[in-house]
Amino acid sequence: MSTANNTFGASFYLKKQKINQAGKSPIYARITVNGKRIEISVKRSIEESNWNPVKGMAKGSREEITKLNKYLDQFKAGIVEGYQQLLLQKKFITAELLKEKVTGADQAEFTLCKLMEYHNAEQANVLEPGTMKNYYTTQKYIKEFIKERFKTSDKYLSELSYKFITDFQYYLLNRTPEKGQKPLNNNGLMKHIERFCKMVNLAVRLEWIDRNPFQAYQLKFDKVEREYLTKDELARIENKHFNI
C-alpha cells in the first residue's frame, strides 16, 4: 500500500529462534513504513511444518488452521485500519507510531480517571471552592459507576460513547443516596452530566480523544420558577459588606 508520501506493508512470519517446548514457533506481524520495519507479537504459535512462509499464513484446512488464519486476517485488518486512522489524523506516520496505534499503547495515558485528575488539578486555582467540591463529587460518582458497571477502576477515553453517557445518567437516577443525602432530582443529575461533558470537552481540546461522545447528547434541565426573596434574604444582602 502506498500514498503520495508513505509506503506501507504488513505481513506475518515465524520467529523460529523462539520455538517453545511444544515445538511451536511464535507468529509475529512485520510492519513496514517508508522502509522502516517493526514487529508485533500476535500471541499465537504454530509448528513450522504447518506454516506457509511465502503466503505468511498457516497451511491446511483443519478447523484450528482455519481459525488461526481468520484471526491473522482480522489482526492485519486492524493494522490497516490503524494506518488509515493516522492518515486521516494527518499524523507523521512511522512504524513505531503505527505499532502504538495497533497495540493501544498510544491510548495508555489517556484514561477517564487521569482526565478527571488533570482537570481538577488544573482548575483548583481557577474555580471557586464550592464549584470544585461539585467536580470532586462528579468524579466520585463516575468512579463508582465504572466500578459497578464494568468491574474495573478506569476506562480509556477511546471507550467513551453515547451509551456510556446514558448508562451513567441511569446510574445516577437510580443511585441510593448516602445517609443524610436527598435523591438527585433531574437538575442535580444534569449538573453532574454537564460537569462530565466539560471534562470531556477538555480532552477533545487536548487531542486526547478523537471524537466527542457528547456530540449527540442534549442536556435537559427542568425550568424552575424562582420565588421572591424573603425579608431575611433582603436584609442579608443589604447588610453584606463587599470588598469591591
Residues 231 and 122 in one domain: yes
Residues 169 and 216 in one domain: yes
pLDDT of residue 110: 86
One-letter identity of residue 87: L
Q: Cα 200 from chain centroid?
A: 11
Residues 120 and 203 in one domain: yes
Please indicate, yes or no, if residue 244 is contained in any of the structural domains: no
Please indicate, yes or no, if residue 243 is contained in any of the structural domains: no
Q: Which of 80, 79, 54, 49 is nearest to 65 (CA)?
A: 49
Neighbours of 36 (CB within 10 A): 11
Please check whether residue 16 is in contact with residue 49, taking contact to mean a CB–CB distance below 8 angstroms.
no
**Threshold 0.85, pTM exceeds:** no
Query: How much helix, strand and coil, in percent to the nearest 5, is found in the chain?
Result: 50, 15, 35
* pLDDT tens digits for range 188-239: 999 999 999 999 999 998 888 878 999 999 999 988 766 677 777 777 778 8
Residue 157, C-beta contacts closer than 8 angstroms, at least 6 positions apart: 107, 110, 111, 112, 115, 200, 203, 208, 209
pLDDT of residue 3: 53
The count of structural domains within the chain is: 2
Q: Which residue has better confidence, 197 or 7?
A: 197
> Which is it for the CA torsion 197, 201, 203, 207, positive or negative?
positive
Please indicate, yes or no, if residue 1 is contained in any of the structural domains: no
Q: Which domain holds residue 171?
A: 112-238
